Amino acid sequence: MPSASSTIPTARTPRPRAAGSRALQKGQQTKAAIVEAALGLATHIGLEGLSIGALAELMGMSKSGVFAHFGSREELQISVVREYHHCFEQEVFYPALSAPRGVARLRALFANWMQRTSVEIDSGCIYISGAVEFDDRPGPVRDALAESVMTWHSAMRRAIVQAKECGELLADVNEDQMLFEIHGLILALHYEARFLKNPGSLGRALTGFDNILARFSAPAPTPGASATHK
């Protein structure tokens, strides 16, 4: 039979685990800091502009130190895409959930999207610049970008469907068409404001959204009209 000393952990047993836990936590914090710095670079120079060497210099680390956290430039790029998507959700999607379902939530989603877009006019949007860089380059980075954009589109499409179910949009509205037109406003805004530097682009995008709602919204109930019996 094994002795008690061989089966019962001694007081010294947890120490190596605690040290290992601290090292793991520090490693995760370092990796998070690298990803944050890489995201800042990518918004200005694109995902293709990222390099282990440039990031190491920015972080004051060795190339091998940065490489140890990712293993490849491709893995670094994918981590940046995921971090960008996380920030996008926190700033655009989740705050809009406080608005009631229907046009109010759809407006909140677009307003938050526009707010983020207005900030990115001076830096850049990973979704847009990444699409230009990877539209014809199959691989894991393109897949990560496309998955992120499609996840966001699914959220917007769901908000449109909910607005239809609430009776605030016409019952025959094609949600894919409406989403296409809304997304088109964002793309046009980036081009007009960031590339052409046209003043008033933000206001025109907001007007465009109002015009889309005006076309797709259901007529308001007539005051005093009798309720429809089921």
162 Cβ contact partners less than 8 Å away, ≥ 6 residues apart: 101, 102, 105
How far apart, in whole angstroms, are the C-alpha atoms of residue 80 and residue 5? 49
Give the torsion sign (CA, 44, 190, 113, 164).
negative
Nearest residue to 62 (alpha-carbon basis) of 30, 32, 14, 98: 30
Ordered per-residue pLDDT tens for the chain, 230 residues = 444 444 433 444 445 555 566 766 777 888 999 999 999 999 988 999 888 888 889 889 988 888 888 888 999 999 999 999 999 999 999 999 999 999 999 999 999 999 898 888 888 899 999 999 999 999 999 999 999 999 999 999 999 999 999 999 999 999 999 999 999 999 999 999 989 999 999 999 999 999 999 999 999 776 665 544 44
Q: Could you tell me how far CA 12 lies from the centroid of its own chain?
A: 45
Cβ distance 167 to 158 under 8 Å? Answer: no
Nearest to 69 by CA among 35, 31, 111: 31
Q: Token pair of 43, please?
A: 């918004």
